[in-house]
Amino acid sequence: MGPRILSALIVAGLLAGCQDDTVVAPASQVQVLTDAARYSRATGTVRANLVNGSKRPVYMFTCSESTTLEVSEAGGWKDLGAWYATCLGADPSTAIAPAYPYSIEPGTFAALPDLPAEVMSSLDPGTYRMRVKVYANNSSPYELLPDAERVSDPFEIVD
């Protein structure tokens, strides 16, 4: 079992038992963690978190299409776009929420939009991953974190 998978399992266990958004992440970096490595198109839901195991805050925009899905195709990754706008810290009663940098503090996590079975049923079986726009700073010019800290491990969607 690889260190990233082991770390993900430890973090997933911590997240499952938390009552609030504060965790002590064992990783020393930012990670996009999904709750499984394989999902059924008909009945599965992909749940993911952005875990900040670093010693610095990181930032996402409050309301944006910051979480996208990619499919493995011809030896590379094809961007399928966002299926849901991420709205962190936004008032759900407001139809249009302003987009501003939202801080994810060290040792905490942010739940990312679920990829529900209704969306997965329209996808072909295959290998997928999530990519998240996460920034190192909260002012322009915004600097994206390295891919290793913004992309989930690949997961399978099966019939």
User: Mind listing the domains of the chain with CATH numbers?
Assistant: 3-158 (2.60.40.1930)
What pLDDT is recorded for position 89? 55
Q: Which 3 state secondary structure label does DSSP give 4?
A: helix
Q: Above 90 in pLDDT, residue 98?
A: no
- CA neighbours closer than 13 Å in the CB half-sphere of residue 112: 30
- CA neighbours closer than 13 Å in the CB half-sphere of residue 6: 4
**Tokens standing for 142?**
């915004």
What pLDDT is recorded for position 14? 40
> Residue 30 contacts by C-beta under 8 Å, 6 or more apart in sequence?
50, 51, 52, 53, 54, 58, 134, 145, 149, 150
What pLDDT is recorded for position 88? 58
> Residue 75 contacts by C-beta under 8 Å, 6 or more apart in sequence?
none
What pLDDT is recorded for position 58? 96
